[in-house]
Amino acid sequence: MSLRDIHTPVMLERCVELLAPALERDDAVLVDATLGMGGHTEAFLERFPRLHVIGLDRDTDALRIAGERLAPFADRVTFVHTVYDGIADAVAAHAPGGRVDGILFDLGVSSLQLDVADRGFAYAQDAPLDMRMDQTTGMTAADVLATYGEGDLRRIFERYGEEKLAGRYARAIIAARATQPIERSGQLVDILQAATPAAVQRAGHPAKRVFQALRIEVNAELTAVERAIPAALGSLRVGGRIVVLSYQSLEDRIVKRELADASTSTAPAGLPFEPPEHAPRFRLLVRGAELASDEEQARNPRAKPVRLRAAERVRDEQAGEAS
C-alpha cells in the first residue's frame, strides 16, 4: 500500500485555501509543525513551486517516512527533529530573517502512531504500552502506570481524559499492578472493562478516554501546545498565516484562547481612539472552529473530531506596522 493510501491528510483543501495568500510570493517559507508522514507538506510543495517547507516532528519514524515521500522535493524541505514547541528555534535556524509566511499544526496522534500496533496508542490492538511520540526519550505509558500514585492517576484521567470514572479506574489500576506489572494495552483494557459498570460500557469503549489521558501525559502534549502557539504567532511575518487542526477539546481550548488574545485590542476601555501599539496583532480568518464536511467525515473517519482555526498577522510587535 502506498503512503498516499495509508495517510489521508485532514481538511487538506481548506488548509491550502487558507494559507495560499501567504505562500504565493517568491521564496515563501511554510512551517509544517507536525510533519507526520508528509501528506499536507507534499500537497503544498506540489502546488507552490517556489515554496520551502520546514518540517518538524518529534517522531523519528515519521521523519524517515516523510523523507522518503518528499524525496522529489528534497531541495525544498528542511527536516527538524523536535517537538513543535521548538518552532521558534527551528525558524531562527532555518528561515531567512527569522520569520515565516505560513504555519500549519495538525495536532494529536498521527496515523502512523495509531496504525503501528507496537507503539501502544490504540486500545483496540494489544501491544506494549509505550505511547511515546518520540521513542528516543522519556517515560512510557507503562512507566506512568507503574509509578504514579492513585491521586496522580485520577488527576490525569480527569484532566486529560475528562473521565467521570477516573477515581474508580485509578483504584483498579493500583490494585491490578500489585499482582503483576501492567505492560501491555490488552492488560489495561481488561482492567478498565472489569471496573466499568455495564450501563456505562454500552455508552462507548471504557478505555478511550484513559488512553487519551495517558498519551497526553506521556508526551506532555498540552504543555507543548501552550508553548507552541504563542511561539508560532511570534514567528510569522506581517501577512503570514497560521492554521491549526485540533482533535480534542483540551487542545482546541488552548488554540482558541491564544488566537482570541492575539486578535483582541489591548487598549484600555473608554479611550476615544485606539493607539496603534494596542491594535490587534492578528485577525481571525474563520468564524469559530470549522469542521470537516460530511463527505470528508464519511470518507475519512479521522476527520470527524477535527476543529480548524486560522488567523493572519496584521501588525508587528513594533507600533503600528500593518500589512
What gap in Å lies between CA 210 and CA 64, rounded to an integer? 30
Question: DSSP for 103-165?
Answer: EEEE-S--HHHHHSGGG---TTS--BS---SSTTSS--HHHHHHH--HHHHHHHHHHHH--TT
Side-chain-side CA neighbours of residue 202 (13 Å): 2
More confident residue, 323 or 192: 192
More confident residue, 7 or 188: 188
Q: What confidence score (pLDDT) does residue 250 get?
A: 93
What gap in Å lies between CA 234 and CA 240, rounded to an integer? 10
CATH 3.40.630.30 fits 3-112+221-313, yes or no: no
- Residue 243's nearest CA partner among 70, 40, 25, 46 is 40
Q: What confidence score (pLDDT) does residue 1 get?
A: 44
240 annotated as ligand-binding = no
3 state SS of 181: coil
For 118-219, CATH gives: 1.10.150.170
The amino acid sitting at 241 is R
pLDDT at 320 over 50: no
Measure Cα distances from 172 to 3, 43, 75, 195 in Å: 40, 46, 53, 7
Side-chain-side CA neighbours of residue 170 (13 Å): 20
Lowest-pLDDT choice from 124-138, 148-162, 294-308: 124-138
For CA atoms 208, 214, 10, 70, the dihedral sign is negative
Tell me whether strands 236-246 and 100-106 are parallel, antiparallel or unpaired.
Answer: parallel
Q: Taking all residues of the chain, what is their mean pLDDT, rounded to a whole number?
A: 90
57 annotated as ligand-binding = yes
pLDDT tens-digit series, residues 110-126: 655 555 555 556 777 88
Measure Cα distances from 145 to 12, 108, 199, 288 in Å: 37, 21, 26, 37
User: Virtual CA dihedral for 90, 217, 288, 316, nearest 10 degrees?
Assistant: -30
Q: pLDDT above 70 covers what percent of the chain? A: 91
Calculate mean pLDDT across residues 266-290.
83
Domain range list for the chain: 3-112+221-313, 118-219
More confident residue, 127 or 166: 166
3 state SS of 267: coil
Give me the numbers of helices (H) and strands (E) for the chain, helices first please. Answer: 15, 7
pLDDT at 171 over 80: yes
3 state SS of 246: strand
234 annotated as ligand-binding = no
Q: What confidence score (pLDDT) does residue 323 get?
A: 46
81 annotated as ligand-binding = no
40 annotated as ligand-binding = yes
What gap in Å lies between CA 141 and CA 119, rounded to an integer? 10
Cβ atoms of residues 144 and 214 within 8 Å = yes
Query: Cell numbers at residue 67, please?
Result: 523523507
What gap in Å lies between CA 152 and CA 146, rounded to an integer? 12
- pLDDT band of 306, cuts 50, 70, 90: very high
pLDDT tens-digit series, residues 215-259: 999 999 999 999 999 999 999 999 999 999 999 999 999 999 999
pLDDT at 74 over 60: yes
Question: Which single residue is written with the C-alpha cell 464536511?
Answer: 293
